[in-house]
Structure 1
Amino acid sequence: MPQFFLNKRLILLLVSIIFLVALIGFSLQERDKLTWPEQFVKDSVGWVQSIFHRPSQSLAGFFNNINEIKHTYEENKLLKEKLDAYVVLETEAQALRKENEELREILDKTESLDQFESIQATVINREPSLWYDLITVNKGSQHGVEANMAVITAKGLIGKVKNVSAYHSTIQLLSSPDRKNRISAYVQSVKNEFFVIEGYDEEKESLLLKEIPYEIEIEEGQQVLTSGLGGVFPRNLLVGEITEVVADNYGLTKTAYVKPAADFYEIQNVIIVERKMEAVDEEGDGS
């Protein structure tokens, strides 16, 4: 009995192997049509794939979009940092170009002041409450600066030295409201006539050239220069240009508004000047 079952199992195994080999051989044959089991399996697999394919693609696309958004954010952040750095560099470059241009003008002006002793200085302090009154520069008595020396920029006269310490000086601007802040000046093309600049009109941003006799012809566009008669300001330093002439209340004299050649609002570098040969003080105010 056991021998019979053993032979039966062997025969069953052989039949199974023969059937499997037959199926393999059958499947390897080129056919135009699939058998119904093959069709069923293929359709079932395709149906399952179609169910899971779209969600998996959507999920993969979602994560890809997240990665792209993160990459774009980091790239934008980097570009913004580079742009901010570029703006800072461009601002610094413009400031340096402006300072370089101003220093070149100062140098050219210094070389043209052969008749003067000149000292180049830089503004180091300017209080907002005294913006049009006083400035402080980085040169003092140790550099040869003395009180009442004239102070100019490359554009024109701005004021005089008010007081001096060893390494710093305070400059009083022409726009200062101090009543003693007076300048002896003349108008170009008007011969042998000298006037006084006294006062500053903040609204018109102009110096006041006062006590002009009514009969003297003064016109807009004429330049005003220092006369050198006061012994403080050297002669022929440019003050500004006449922009308006008005008569006083009695019609005996006139006042001219003089637009300063120098920019009183923005002052970075200055030249302190003194004549090599002192002139005789012909005015009591020392200007």
Structure 2
Amino acid sequence: MPQFFSNKRLILLLVGVIFLVALISFTLRDRDHASLPEQIIKDVVGFGQSIFSKPTQYITGVFDNVDSLLNTYEENKRLKSRLEEFAKLQADVNDLASENTRLREIVDKKDDLRDYEPIQATVIARNPDQWEEKVILDRGTVHGVKKNMAVITAQGLIGKIKLTTPLTSTVELLSTQDPNYRVSAMVAGQNEVFGLIEGYDEKRKELILKRIDSNIKIEKGQKIMSSGLGGIFPKGLLIGEITEVTTDDFGLTKLAYVKPAAEFALLDHVMIAKRSMVTIDGTDGEDSTTKEEDES
């Protein structure tokens, strides 16, 4: 009799193991819907997890907030330090500007190639067929805009006024394919190097700086600015940065590819530089359209 009960327990154990294995294999199959027992188990486990996870998340959030406060405190200290440096720099700039004004008064020099009055404008139209060449602004002759005035963004020079109406003006961009479009430019550095922006490489999306003396050393990474010598653009407007230096087709002068500082494809708000300069006869030449040999 005891042996029978022992065998019975063994049989029940085997049956239980077989049932457990069958249940495991059933639950591991790929199915679209869970069985009722699985749903109950999942819901119970999920409820338990949510009970434990919420306090855990709360505690983690507290530590994250403390860490964020510490980071904010450190960042605030750095920003205050930078602000003090900026204030000092601003004071130096104001001091230099004041000194420059006094020196100008001493030498009785009233005009500068860098001087211009900004006219704020907004791009209101753009022809898809000339997307890289022209844009239309909401400022015209009644606002003081005239042909050949330089147009800039916060990033740098983008072009010049090509056509005006009383209420609008058309800008011809530096990326134009017009072979007669030239900009008198210089390579910024200890010794100013002059050249001409002539042409735009559409594949590279870069301007081409030409007519640089072959004996002059220029390097990748140098900034290109407007020289102010062409009689149209004020001096010192950022044009771009040199990406490659090579020679022209004849090997007589150097040629440089310049990545534009401004993004021609994304133009919204711009400034028109109303330049004031002195002509040969000594009169105010802001209304004159003098020779445009370099920037026509």
TM exceeds 0.5? yes
Mapping for residues 149-160 of structure 1, pairs under 5 Å: 149-160=149-160
What's the counterpart of residue 237 of structure 1? 237
Distance across 2 between alignment mates of 1:285 and 1:208: 15
Mapping for residues 112-123 of structure 1, pairs under 5 Å: 115-123=115-123
Distance across 2 between alignment mates of 1:262 and 1:248: 25
Mapping for residues 9-20 of structure 1, pairs under 5 Å: none
Deviations 1:257-283 (A, max 9, x none): 000000011101110002233466676
Distance across 2 between alignment mates of 1:155 and 1:143: 23
Distance across 2 between alignment mates of 1:127 and 1:193: 36
User: Structure 1 216/282 Cα, relative in aligned 2: closer, same or farther at 3 Å?
Assistant: farther
SS at match of 2:193: coil
Distance across 2 between alignment mates of 1:178 and 1:268: 23
Matched-pair identity in % = 50
Which protein has the larger Cα radius of gyration, Structure 1 or Structure 2?
1
Answering whether residue 293 of structure 2 is matched by residue 284 of structure 1, we say yes
Mapping for residues 163-242 of structure 1, pairs under 5 Å: 163-189=163-189, 191-242=191-242
Distance across 1 between alignment mates of 2:279 and 2:234: 9
SS at match of 2:250: coil
What's the counterpart of residue 75 of structure 2? none
Distance across 1 between alignment mates of 2:182 and 2:278: 19
User: Structure 1 187/161 Cα, relative in aligned 2: closer, same or farther at 3 Å?
Assistant: same
User: Structure 1 198/229 Cα, relative in aligned 2: closer, same or farther at 3 Å?
Assistant: same
User: Structure 1 212/195 Cα, relative in aligned 2: closer, same or farther at 3 Å?
Assistant: same
Distance across 2 between alignment mates of 1:284 and 1:254: 21
Provide the aligned length of Structure 1 versus Structure 2: 176
Answering whether residue 259 of structure 2 is matched by residue 268 of structure 1, we say no
What's the counterpart of residue 48 of structure 1? none
Give the counterpart letter for 1:211 in structure 2: R
What's the counterpart of residue 34 of structure 1? none
Give the counterpart letter for 2:293 in structure 1: G
Contact 2:234 2:275 in 1 (8 A): yes
Structure 1 residue 212, shift from structure 2 partner: 1.5
User: Structure 1 278/174 Cα, relative in aligned 2: closer, same or farther at 3 Å?
Assistant: farther
User: Structure 1 209/272 Cα, relative in aligned 2: closer, same or farther at 3 Å?
Assistant: same
SS at match of 1:220: coil
User: Structure 1 282/126 Cα, relative in aligned 2: closer, same or farther at 3 Å?
Assistant: closer
Distance across 1 between alignment mates of 2:181 and 2:163: 14
What's the counterpart of residue 141 of structure 1? 141
Give the counterpart letter for 1:160 in structure 2: K
Structure 1 residue 199, shift from structure 2 partner: 0.3
What's the counterpart of residue 68 of structure 1? none
- Structure 2: tracts of 5 or more residues without a match: 1-96, 98-113, 281-289
Distance across 1 between alignment mates of 2:121 and 2:292: 28
Structure 1 residue 163, shift from structure 2 partner: 0.7
Contact 1:229 1:279 in 2 (8 A): no
Task: Give the TM-score taking structure 1 as reference length.
Answer: 0.58
- Structure 1: tracts of 5 or more residues without a match: 1-111
Distance across 1 between alignment mates of 2:121 and 2:274: 14
User: Structure 1 214/282 Cα, relative in aligned 2: closer, same or farther at 3 Å?
Assistant: farther
Distance across 2 between alignment mates of 1:283 and 1:166: 23
Distance across 2 between alignment mates of 1:183 and 1:286: 5
SS at match of 1:142: helix
User: Structure 1 247/195 Cα, relative in aligned 2: closer, same or farther at 3 Å?
Assistant: same
Task: Give the TM-score taking structure 2 as reference length.
Answer: 0.56
What's the counterpart of residue 161 of structure 2? 161
RMSD across aligned positions (CA): 2.1
Contact 2:122 2:268 in 1 (8 A): yes
Distance across 2 between alignment mates of 1:229 and 1:262: 22
Contact 1:229 1:282 in 2 (8 A): no
Contact 1:180 1:285 in 2 (8 A): no
Deviations 1:204-230 (A, max 9, x none): 110000122221111000000000011
